[in-house]
């Protein structure tokens, strides 16, 4: 199975260099948001068939919101969303465009081998 994570600040169109696992790994889960200064992120997981190095087709896309108080090192991770309408609501058109271009440039064969319902997730609203 092939998988890749893209972590965006909620309103930015280019992902961070860190993945969700890298940025949120050593944080404590927030039990309460009172007193926290939270930065909002969108974590996008793309899965596909193939090897860890090279996908042969893309199969699934999951998105979740994540919030982090950098100063207190406390986070809130929401459950992964995998339904088309949820994904389309969470991602901005610019984020969809970045992801579509990245997937096409880095694995054109996998992009072309993917089913229409997967590629449709990246269409602007």
Question: Is 38 within a domain?
Answer: yes
Residue 12 belongs to domain spanning: 2-118
Query: To the nearest whole number, what is the mean pLDDT of the chain?
Result: 93
Question: Is 36 within a domain?
Answer: yes
Question: Is 123 within a domain?
Answer: no
Question: Is 125 within a domain?
Answer: no
The residue assigned the tokens 């965006």 is 8
Of the pLDDT bands very low, low, confident and very high (cuts 50, 70, 90), residue 70 is confident
pLDDT by residue (tens digit) across 23-37? 988 888 887 778 889
Question: Is 70 within a domain?
Answer: yes
Q: What b/e string do you get for 75-114 counting C-beta neighbours within 10 Å, with b at 16 or more?
A: bbbeeebeeeeebbebbbeebbebbbeebeeebeebbebb
Return the pLDDT at 32.
Answer: 77
Q: In total, how many domains does the chain have?
A: 1
Question: Is 28 within a domain?
Answer: yes
Across 27-36, 77-86, 116-125, least confident range: 27-36
pLDDT by residue (tens digit) across 43-52? 999 999 999 8
DSSP 83: S
Question: Is 85 within a domain?
Answer: yes
């Amino acid at each position: 199975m092939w998988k890749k994570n893209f972590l965006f600040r909620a309103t930015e169109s280019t992902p961070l260099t860190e993945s969700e696992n890298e940025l949120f790994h050593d944080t404590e889960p927030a039990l309460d948001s009172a007193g926290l200064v939270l930065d909002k992120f969108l974590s996008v997981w793309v899965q596909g068939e193939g090897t860890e190095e090279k996908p042969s087709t893309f199969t699934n896309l999951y998105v979740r919101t994540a919030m982090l108080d950098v100063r207190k090192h406390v986070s809130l991770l929401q459950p992964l969303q995998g339904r088309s309408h949820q994904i389309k609501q969470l991602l901005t058109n610019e984020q969809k465009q970045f992801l579509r271009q990245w997937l096409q440039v880095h694995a054109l064969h996998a992009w072309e081998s993917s089913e229409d319902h997967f590629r449709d997730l990246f269409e602007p609203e």
